[in-house]
Amino acid sequence: MPKTNTKKPPFIPPAADDLIVSRKQHGRKISRETCQRVFEILLTADLSQTRAGAVANKLGISPTTLRRRLRENNTHYQSILDNVRLQRCE
């Protein structure tokens, strides 16, 4: 029977914990910036022809990364697209 690892995880110094928090905050900032850039791209785009994949290409990221960053900001491509349509109507 294999032995179970009963050792406690190694101590994580406070500086490492601060780094983890800092990276999370940086990730949220990138997600917000991505949402803003998607909005700006769509404001000037032909909405009948512009798909999420094309926007991702303009941002230099994959469609999967775009979806993940938007999800991290609690939104979706369709929501931003709807907001752009409303903005254009005003």
Q: What confidence tier does 30 reach under pLDDT thresholds 50, 70, 90? A: confident
Task: Kindly tell me if the per-residue pLDDT of 22 is higher than 60.
Answer: no
Q: Cβ contacts of residue 55 below 8 Å, gap of 6+?
A: 38, 41, 42, 45, 66, 77
Residue 80 lies in a domain: yes
Mean pLDDT (the chain, rounded): 81
Residue 82 lies in a domain: yes
CA quadruple 29, 35, 40, 43: dihedral, nearest 10: -160
Residue 31 lies in a domain: yes
Residue 41 lies in a domain: yes
Q: How many domains does the chain have?
A: 1
Q: What confidence tier does 36 reach under pLDDT thresholds 50, 70, 90? A: very high
Residue 18 lies in a domain: no
Residue 66 lies in a domain: yes
Residue 36 lies in a domain: yes
Higher-pLDDT residue of 43, 24: 43
- 56 CA to centre of own chain: 11
Q: Cβ contacts of residue 67 below 8 Å, gap of 6+?
A: 52, 76, 77
Residue 8 lies in a domain: no
Domain, as residue range, for 70: 25-89
Cα–Cα distance, 55 to 43 (Å, whole number): 12
Structure tokens at 35: 């949402």
pLDDT for res 10: 59
